[in-house]
Amino acid sequence: MSFGDYQIELYLGALGGVLPAHPLTHAELEAGALAVLPPELRTYVAGGAGDEATQRANVTAFERWALVPRMLNARTERDLSVELFGKHLASPLMMAPVGVVGLCTLDQHGDVHAAEVSAATGVPLIGSTLMSDPLEDVVAATGDTPAWFQLYTPKSRELAASLVSRAERAGYDALVVTLDTWVPGWRPRDLASGNFPQLRGKALANYTSDPVFAEMTGPDPDPATVVFTWVGQFGNPLTWDDLPWLRSLTDLPIVLKGICHPDDARRALDGGVDGIYCSNHGGRQANGGGAALDWLPGVVDAVAAHGGDAPVVFDSGVRSGADVVKALALGATAVAVGRPYVYGLALGGVPGAVHVLRALQAETDLIMAVDGYPNRADLTRDALVRTMP
């Protein structure tokens, strides 16, 4: 069975009088989700930094590239699979870490539901430090699908070590360290509404369930104590000097998230990390930085020059299967999506997010089929032509 067969399910359902229950375009998906999300989540999930030019650039950057069709290379079965740190994935999709996904379902357990989506689709979840349920409960719901844990490194090294060791014991397969969020970016939408969920005690389950954090707050802390203790811990400005310490925390593969410059990619690999995550946080953290897709080829080339063994994960602006194909052709090992699956969860719960990921996989598969790229390995930079400067 190919991922593209999902369209057959939808057509057959329509023959039986059942039309698709969830949107099939990102624009409809976003509009529907934002209509049901409360205002504070609407601004937090949909908004970006500054005038959101970088956020828009992330999306439109894909339009500058065209996949060149190649004929008489058709295959009834396509191979989209990829190996990541010894784990075989049927497709190169991943679910990017989103710190408020736990709040985006009616029952406020969106992190667990995201894990259930991962189990249902085989798409790995990168769980955020900012969860509404403890990390152990979340990974338990991923089934046999690999999962990664994303770390916002706290100021206390003891607390950082506790969070990482918990993730390792719980069964996460890799550690993703986010580098560009040690201070909140300038987010006008959130500032205008005074919206910062964590300051209201939301999405802090990994802290309140942690023994080291509990020692900081004391027994039975009131909500204000929890929040102000978290504020005192969040925002550790990591430097290159911290890499040996991070490496010492775990035997798990370490992936650095936020790398956009080739020199940073090289230095990270020299420092002992195992993977590079090219991303500008979807345009949420810093405006004026251009599209992450524009930085991807340079990062990929730097990794290849270093030996080429380290995977390069990419996110920022991915909205369609065509976007996935183009990111892969530019050298990404795996492609993560954020807002699309969150919107799917908000609008349709687990079935809604499963639909979003299956639709992305189906479109990716069908583009490869129609345009004559039957294997993941066929998607090289030579398959693309830049159509706009």
Q: 269 with 303: CB under 8 angstroms?
A: yes
Q: 355 with 40: CB under 8 angstroms?
A: no
Q: 373 with 79: CB under 8 angstroms?
A: no
CA 179 to chain CA centroid, nearest Å: 14
26 is annotated as an active-site residue: no
Contacts of 27 (CB under 8 A, 6+ apart): none
Length of the chain as a residue count = 389
Question: Which residue among the candidates 26, 109, 281, 355 is catalytic per the annotation?
Answer: 281
CA-wise closest residue to 230 among 257, 256, 203 = 203
What does the alpha-carbon distance between residue 326 and residue 330 come to, in Å, rounded to a whole number? 6
- 3-state SS record for 330-361: CCCCEEEECHHHHHHHHHHHHHHHHHHHHHHH
Active site residues: 281
